[in-house]
Amino acid sequence: MAQDHREQRNGAERLPLRVNGDDVEVEAAPMSVLADVLRDELGLTGTKLGCRAGDCGSCTVLVDGVAITSCLMPVAQAAGRDVTTIEGLETDGELHPVQQAFSDHNASQCGYCIPGFIVAAAETVANGEVLDREQVVQSLSGNLCRCTGYESIVDAIVDACGHGTDREVAS
């Protein structure tokens, strides 16, 4: 298992990050994983940690608009790039279309996996991709849910893709 962020204090450096549109500085070892730094240093606990191995997708965030598993990215690799977490998708109190679609379709049960699904789908919507149901299922291959059976999640994302959006995620 990867060494825990809090055990990596030795060698910590001040690192500049841009997260949800804000320039911030964190104190972390360069090889700390981004997910730990987001959660422990910045309090952005909407990003969840499941497997810590790149398999479950619960830690998905956008880096320069691309969905990545933040449990695998060293924080130093994110320095100077635009990081968007689930907290950064809402704008002026308005839910992102994918968040709204998940709400409309009651696509959450325990909710643990949901930020990862929403962030991954936000990339799809931002790219203007209009996916059919089968393509949505394929696009979700990197995200796991233990609760919902996926039907309502797929419904929500198909809906969100159909709506599209001309909004950009925070940068």
Q: Which residues bind ligand FES (CB under 6 A)?
A: 49-52, 54-59, 69, 71, 108-114, 145-148
- Which residue, 23, 28, 56, is CA-closest to 40? 28
Closest CB 14 distance from ligand FES, rounded Å = 25
Q: CA geometry: angle at 40 spanning 36 and 42, to 5°? A: 105
Q: How far is the CB of 128 from ligand FES (least distance, A)?
A: 26
- Report in angstroms how near the CB of residue 50 gets to ligand FES at its nearest: 4
Closer of 7 and 22 to ligand FES (Cβ)? 7
Nearer to ligand FES (CB atom), residue 133 or residue 146: 146
| Residue 84: strand pairing partners | 62
Greatest pairwise CA separation for the chain in angstroms: 49
Going by C-beta distance under 8 Å and a sequence separation of 6 or more, which residues neighbour residue 167? 91, 96, 97
Nearer to ligand FES, 11 or 149 (CB): 149
